Amino acid sequence: MADFLLELRCEEIPARMQPKAKEDLARLFGEALAKAGLQAEAIEAFATPRRLALIAKGLPVATTAVSEETKGPKVGAPPQALEGFLRKVGLAAEQLVERDGVYFAVVEKPGRETAEVLAEAVPAIIRAFPWPKSMRWGAASLTTESLRWVRPLSGIIALLDGEVVPFEVDGIASGRTTMGHRFHHSGPVEIADAATYVETLRAAHVIVHFSERCRLIREGAEKVAAEAGLTLVADEGLVIENAGLTEWPVPLLGRFDEAFLDVPPEVIQLTARVNQKYFVCEDAQGRLANAFVCTANIDPIDASVVVDGNRKVLAARLSDARFFWEQDQKTPLAVHAEKLARITFHEKLGTVADKVERVAKLARWLCEEGIVAGDPALAEQAARLCKADLVTEMVGEFPELQGLMGGYYAAKEGLPQEVSDAIRDHYKPVGQGDDVPTAPVTVAVSLADKLDTLRSFFAIDEKPTGSKDPFALRRAALGIIRIITENGLRMGVAEGDLLDFFADRLKVQQREAGVRHDLIDAVFALGGEDDLVRLLARVHALQAFVTTEDGTNLLAGYKRAANILKKEGFAATEGAQTLSYTPEPAEKALIDALDAAAPRAAEAVEAERFADAMAALATLRAPIDRFFEEVTVNAEEAEKRSSRLALLGRFRDAVHRVADFSRIEG
Amino acid sequence: MSAALSFAPAPRDPARSFQDMILTLHDFWSANGCVILQPYDMRMGAGTFHTATTLRALGPEPWNAAFVQPCRRPTDGRYGENPNRLQHYYQYQVILKPSPSDIQELYLQSLAAIGIDPLAHDIRFVEDDWESPTLGAWGLGWEVWCDGMEVTQFTYFQQMGGFDCKPVAGELTYGLERLAMYIQGVDNVYDLAFNTAGVTYGDVFLENERQMSKWNFEVADTETLFEGFRRAEAECLRSLEAGVPIAAYEQAIEASHLFNLLQARGVISVQERASYMGRVRDLARSSCEAYAEKMTPEWQAKYPGWSLV
């Protein structure tokens, strides 16, 4: 068994690409081994800004010899078949082996040295490496055929049990030499073998393990915050990003001018995070503190110099943010909103101002109709202002603050809190875990905004297809579903195509809540149901029922009745019939049960007491079972036969008024 | 030679003089084989527009040059009131074709030469890819951070004028004022020492910033600018037809700057903006294309087997 070390050293790899590159390298290497019939006991990959590396432990030193057998034509098959087979396997007729009247081609493949396999496999992996973006460089790039890598590739280590596996990729020969930290170590570093790689580089100020650098950053940042009497605001995304920017991470805490704390904390946090990749801290009361934590890639001679430089950069950024914050407030939101007339929403749907106009009317209407219990005037006012922050300087700089800034500016203007809250939260819910608005004015604006988006895009036939959903209509529909169902809003949500679209989204959304999609279909199939709250109540009652024994059996009875009716081509259904003969007891029992249950079920459905409707259906279970056991539908007398079919028709229809049981699986 | 006529330059003091910092960069890149050029004598938004960068990035021939390029960004004017923003500032451009394998080390040496010790300051290469639709160009690289401040744009050109760069050039763009503010420890650009004899950046440029901001935003005659744009566009097309693509390219640069001025005057609507940008892009790209096509026979004669596409 042998251990293999591979290091691909290059200029700084973008931080965001390192985690995936590490996985890709391990995967591609494992696949290449498998193709050669080799397997390592363990493969571990590493990434730093300047290297991608891998250690494979427990590799066999050679592949095992294999004999590959290919089945050929039968002995005595036409000569063309034999010739074709010989061409395919590249053998002569006398080299074939005959067994049980069939020719076989047997090719003996001797074992190969693992080093030889690796010398072939690694260059192939390098040439085909799936970087999201790659480039050419240097003198070799005189042609476009030259090697591509994420940034210029500068060295390769390939050691099998400490011996160099020799190969060359575009002029770069494999060896055992690498470089340590860019500044803390000078000159080349020689690596003895896989076992000493990590520690040799650590001595050269490089932490090879991505996870170890993450831990150093996480714990170091928490520590410097704690030393300042503060709590670090955890941000795993920043931890990972900083781990991708450093080989020797050193978190350092700095302070910024307290005066900047007038700016909303979200703005400060975003400025620090997005532009500078700094963490922020909170004080004991949970308020944002005037502190930041940057992660240096060196142990600086004097930390205060590095911190001070970073402080200045942050100060310049925060001055810009404060300038935007103050500048934006000089203009009322209503005046900002006027500029929306200059922004195209969609070429076929007019400007953002046009959209705002539609949303404002719809939000007002939702309140006036009592669908949402909000003040119509406030809903309209909030809707008219909800997009105004899109033209503010702050949102221009940080688009992710849309809504939030509008909310702040509205509050600063002294607008009613319902209005500023609605502006702030009207994009919600954004993701699956996001809160659903519950404040009535917010609900009205949020719902109106999303409904308008869906209706407008459906009206111009811009519907999502497959994986394409450029206007995020699925997310909008999901948002509407959550707002309606979680707030219990009673309204017709849509019609036609759009209603079908909602049905699909509802099925996806409810699947996670454990609701069966066939039951949703069974209720939608009745047609005319555009009230999602009522629909779900019915579906929930149906699901509770069909999982009981009565429900399962009634479903079986329904399907049997429906099959018979279908086979007999029975379509017309009439009300209760007067029979000219004396019904059999089981027949009579079903008639009586239907007479009692059908109106009860219909009435319960009408009153939206769906559990009662199910209970009424449950009373049919025993009579229908007994009917099928004791009564011959296909009686010789035509009259009996038609009456019994009509009875089954009545049964089917009574069940059908509650849900289309033919859509239910099982 | 008599002693009275002999001259020995004073040692450079890049940490206390803006001009010494520039001269040190000149010394450094000159010692590393670059042609030290003077600025292009036209108004432009970035050093990349200099023909020594755009046009020379095309073709197979080696090319190493360094120069200061004044940059005009009319909308960044702040009437001399913002300590960090200027409508006129300097970039230091280095172009190395093909990109040498030790280009990062050379760059770091140049920082050391102007007084940045990488064990005292945190230097980082942070992903930042570059794209100029106007020039039909893109490249991969980094913004270089010094203690969190972006001091240089570092790009490996992959395409220019819509053509693959064969070979690839490395481009370094130092933001000179920022770098000097950092090295001198100054918070306001106008407080920078321009030399060691007491002249500040403000002495040289503050009044220019005040007047030029006013002109850019308030005074410039928009009809003249529109007319200038139309003329530059027409002249560019005429020059292309006449087979002088370098002259055409100059007119494209002119049109680009006039467009920027019109933007600063606020007379171009959102809808028109895209259309103007498209016109500038067409001029610049056609000029680059025409230049590359005109030069290709010469390049192929020197580099048999080389092809433009």
Residues A198-211 have pLDDT tens digits of 999 999 999 999 99
| pLDDT above 70: percentage of residues in chain B | 98
Q: For residue A287, give how far its alpha carbon lies from the nearest alpha carbon of chain B (Å).
A: 25
B residues 80-139 near A, CB within 8 Å? 84, 98-101, 104, 108, 117-127, 129, 139
Backbone angles phi, psi at B68, to 5 degrees: -95, 135
Higher pLDDT, A90 or B304: B304
Q: What is the DSSP letter of A135?
A: B
Is A313–B168 a contact, with Cβ atoms under 8 angstroms apart? Answer: no
Backbone angles phi, psi at A60, to 5 degrees: -60, 150
Interface probe with A: pick from B157, B168, B177, B307, most Cβ of A within 10 Å:
B168
| pLDDT above 90: percentage of residues in chain B | 87
| B120, B269, B271 member nearest A305 (Cβ) | B120
Please give the biggest Cα pair distance in chain B: 69
Q: Is A319 exposed, middle or buried (0-12, 13-18, 19+ CB in 10 A)?
A: middle
The pLDDT assigned to A110 comes to: 84
Q: In chain A, where are the structural domains located? A: 2-62+114-203, 67-109, 210-328, 548-663
**Is the CB of residue A391 less than 8 Å away from at least one CB of chain B?**
no
- Nearest chain B Cα to A134, which residue? B140
Kindly tell me if the per-residue pLDDT of B97 is higher than 70: yes
The pLDDT assigned to B3 comes to: 66
Kindly tell me if the per-residue pLDDT of B53 is higher than 60: yes
- Nearest chain B Cα to A314, which residue? B148
| pLDDT above 70: percentage of residues in chain A | 99
Ordered DSSP codes for A168-200: EETTEEEESEEE--TTT--SEEE---HHHHHHH
Q: What is the DSSP letter of B303?
A: S
Residues A301-358 have pLDDT tens digits of 999 999 999 999 999 889 889 989 999 999 999 999 999 998 888 888 999 999 999 9
- Of all helices (H) and strands (E), which one includes residue A231? strand A231-232
The pLDDT assigned to B48 comes to: 94
Q: For residue A360, give how far its alpha carbon lies from the nearest alpha carbon of chain B (Å).
A: 25
- Given the structure tokens 């693992």, which residue do they identify? A114
Mean pLDDT value across chain A: 93
The pLDDT assigned to B271 comes to: 64
Residues A109-147 have pLDDT tens digits of 888 899 999 999 999 999 999 999 999 999 999 999 999
Q: Is A47 exposed, middle or buried (0-12, 13-18, 19+ CB in 10 A)?
A: buried
Q: Is B104 exposed, middle or buried (0-12, 13-18, 19+ CB in 10 A)?
A: buried
| B100, B125, B148 member nearest A310 (Cβ) | B148
Contacts 24+ apart (CB under 8 A), B153-160: B153/B128, B154/B104, B154/B107, B154/B125, B155/B130, B156/A135, B156/A136, B156/A137, B156/A151, B156/A152, B156/B99, B157/B57, B158/A135, B158/A136, B160/B54, B160/B57, B160/B58, B160/B135, B160/B136, B160/B288
Cβ proximity of A312 and A292 under 8 Å = no
- Count how many pairs of residues, chain A against chain B, have C-beta atoms within 8 Å: 119
Is A310–B147 a contact, with Cβ atoms under 8 angstroms apart? Answer: yes
Higher pLDDT, B270 or A20: A20
Region A649-654: mean pLDDT is 90
Q: In chain B, what residues touch A151 (CB-CB under 8 Å)?
A: 140, 156
**Is the CB of residue B157 less than 8 Å away from at least one CB of chain A?**
no
- Nearest chain A Cα to B61, which residue? A142
Which range is most confident: A509-513, A538-542, A626-630, B207-211? Answer: B207-211
Which range is most confident: A309-323, A447-461, A620-634? Answer: A447-461
pLDDT classification of A215: cutoffs 50, 70, 90: very high
pLDDT classification of A573: cutoffs 50, 70, 90: low
| A49, A151, A309 member nearest B121 (Cβ) | A309
The pLDDT assigned to B270 comes to: 66
**Is the CB of residue A335 less than 8 Å away from at least one CB of chain B?**
no
Q: In chain B, what residues touch A246 (CB-CB under 8 Å)?
A: 124
Region B195-220: mean pLDDT is 96
**Is the CB of residue A152 less than 8 Å away from at least one CB of chain B?**
yes
Is B129–A11 a contact, with Cβ atoms under 8 angstroms apart? Answer: no
Q: In chain B, what residues touch A136 (CB-CB under 8 Å)?
A: 156, 158, 165, 167-168
Interface probe with B: pick from A51, A141, A242, most Cβ of B within 10 Å:
A141
Q: In chain A, what residues touch B107 (CB-CB under 8 Å)?
A: none
Common-topology check for domains A2-62+114-203 and A548-663: no
Kindly tell me if the per-residue pLDDT of A269 is higher than 70: yes
B17: alpha, beta or left? (left if phi > 0; alpha if psi -120 to 50): beta
Strands B163-164 and B170-175: unpaired
pLDDT classification of B274: cutoffs 50, 70, 90: confident
Cβ proximity of A372 and A444 under 8 Å = yes
SS3 at position A338 = helix
The pLDDT assigned to B1 comes to: 55
**Is the CB of residue A173 less than 8 Å away from at least one CB of chain B?**
no
Residues 6+ apart with CB under 8 A from A17: A131, A132, A150, A244
Is B121–A300 a contact, with Cβ atoms under 8 angstroms apart? Answer: yes
**Is the CB of residue A306 less than 8 Å away from at least one CB of chain B?**
yes
What CATH code would you report for A2-62+114-203? 3.30.70
Residues A388-444 have pLDDT tens digits of 999 998 998 888 999 999 999 999 999 999 999 999 999 999 888 889 999 999 999
B residues 229-248 near A, CB within 8 Å? none
**Highest CATH level, class, for A548-663:** mainly alpha
Name the H helices within A513-637: 517-524, 532-546, 549-567, 585-606, 610-618, 621-630
Give helix then strand counts, H and E, for chain B: 7, 9
A residues 394-423 near B, CB within 8 Å? none
Residues A458-487 have pLDDT tens digits of 999 999 988 888 889 999 999 999 999 999
Kindly tell me if the per-residue pLDDT of A263 is higher than 60: yes
Q: For residue A119, give how far its alpha carbon lies from the nearest alpha carbon of chain B (Å).
A: 24
**Is the CB of residue A314 less than 8 Å away from at least one CB of chain B?**
yes
The pLDDT assigned to A426 comes to: 97
**Is the CB of residue A143 less than 8 Å away from at least one CB of chain B?**
yes
Kindly tell me if the per-residue pLDDT of A636 is higher than 90: no
B residues 269-308 near A, CB within 8 Å? 269-271, 303, 306
Residues B222-254 have pLDDT tens digits of 999 999 999 999 999 999 999 999 999 999 999
C-alpha span between A279 and A273 (Å, rounded): 6
